[in-house]
Amino acid sequence: MELEGRGAGGVAGGPAAGPGRSPGESALLDGWLQRGVGRGAGGGDAGACRPPVRQDPDSGPDYEALPAGATVTTHMVAGAVAGILEHCVMYPIDCVKTRMQSLQPDPAARYRNVLEALWRIIRTEGLWRPMRGLNVTATGAGPAHALYFACYEKLKKTLSDVIHPGGNSHIANGAAGCVATLLHDAAMNPAEVVKQRMQMYNSPYHRVTDCVRAVWQNEGAGAFYRSYTTQLTMNVPFQAIHFMTYEFLQEHFNPQRRYNPSSHVLSGACAGAVAAAATTPLDVCKTLLNTQESLALNSNITGHITGMASAFRTVYQVGGVTAYFRGVQARVIYQIPSTAIAWSVYEFFKYLITKRQEERRAGK
């Protein structure tokens, strides 16, 4: 809630209550003058006559305006924690999604829905089978999300100041999300390749090191980035839709941009669901490139699926148009809580770190 200024005359008039000014307003103005904000000509500040912004005492620090010098570190720490928690909590569903996107699955790995798939995997392959590959995912998610959120926040502010000074720009949000995705995917792509090969039904890999060694020896180092262009083709529109939807919903659910857990969870969940459904065909192609599914390779004359065009063609040859939407249910179910967790954890740690910094500064 803001208190509108009364102009230079109101400042020069001093703190005493006058016509049209309530005692509460006079007290606020008095405090403003005592802090030296309204120093007038003597203070020499260009913004001396700018009216104060009245902040709700219960709202905590303005965590959207982080302290100078700590911005990048704060975003990177908050982003790393959010990314690791997001991937760890949702990993079993991610395992199911990978299997449901298989173009020609083994008869024992044909599932009707997510819950049935998870139950059958646990019952037939063991309790911990859906968690295989979690360690390499967590290792990649930390630095990937640290770069992701730090880059996004920095570019969002920079571009917003250029495109829409003093306000929020959806174009800036989308562009910042796209650029941040380049860094995220560069750090995360090798982990994605290893993870998805370990998640497949009858995967020969039981340890991360076995999978890494086999891929390196049999397919070369380039195999870890074979799906990078396709992943970018998927994630750039995904993140553009994701960030624009999230910021749009925040404008409606949390216009003051305070720390509001319920608005972060709701906005994150809706943004993730919309983006996930829209980009499922690209995710199916990415999974095929990462796993190099043996039965699908029989329909590809080169013996290896090496690019996005080849992946799109192979998906259509094997399963038709409907194959592009394999696993869409699992993908949306995965993404709703995933983005809700990521945004709520990220905003919480951003708020917590900023609050601690503000408290230390106030104690000096």
CA–CA separation, 217 vs 204, rounded Å?
15
Q: With bands split at pLDDT 50, 70 and 90, how would you rate the model's confidence at 2?
A: very low
Looking at residue 90, its amino acid is M
Looking at residue 320, its amino acid is G
Predicted model pTM? 0.68
CA–CA separation, 177 vs 170, rounded Å?
11
pLDDT value of position 52: 44
Q: With bands split at pLDDT 50, 70 and 90, how would you rate the model's confidence at 269?
A: very high
3-state helix, strand, coil in the chain (%, to 5): 70, 0, 30
Q: Please, are residues 5 and 51 in contact by the beta-carbon 8 Å criterion? A: yes
Write the pLDDT tens digit of every residue in 177-225.
899 999 999 999 999 999 999 999 989 999 999 999 999 999 999 999 9
Residues 6+ positions from 187 with CB-CB distance below 8 Å: 140, 143, 144, 147
Q: Average pLDDT for residues 316-328, to the nearest whole number? A: 88
pLDDT value of position 173: 87
Choose between 27 and 283: higher pLDDT. 283
pLDDT value of position 357: 81
Mean pLDDT of the chain: 79
Q: Average pLDDT for residues 305-313, to the nearest whole number? A: 81
pLDDT value of position 141: 95
Question: Is the Cα torsion angle 282, 148, 90, 207 positive or negative in sign?
Answer: positive
CA–CA separation, 260 vs 56, rounded Å?
14
Q: Average pLDDT for residues 148-164, to the nearest whole number? A: 89
Q: With bands split at pLDDT 50, 70 and 90, how would you rate the model's confidence at 302?
A: low
The Cα-based distances of 215 to 46, 218, 220, 305 in angstroms read 62, 5, 7, 15
Closest CA to 211 of 219, 54, 49: 219
Quickly name the fold that domain 70-363 has. Answer: Mitochondrial carrier fold (1.50.40)
For the record, the structure tokens of 143 come out as 């630095």
Q: Tokens 């730090």, residue?
A: 150
Mean pLDDT is lowest, of 43-57, 168-182, 212-226, 254-268, for: 43-57
Domain map (residue ranges) of the chain: 70-363
pLDDT value of position 297: 54
CA–CA separation, 17 vs 174, rounded Å?
48
Phi–psi pair at 309, nearest 5 degrees: -60, -45
**Residue 124 confidence (pLDDT) above 90:** yes
Write the pLDDT tens digit of every residue in 61-107.
454 544 444 468 888 999 999 999 999 999 999 999 899 888 778 88
Q: Please, are residues 239 and 180 in contact by the beta-carbon 8 Å criterion? A: yes
Write the pLDDT tens digit of every residue in 232-244.
888 888 988 898 8
pLDDT value of position 245: 92
Helix (H) or strand (E) holding 124: helix 114-125
Mean pLDDT is lowest, of 223-237, 285-299, 309-323, for: 285-299
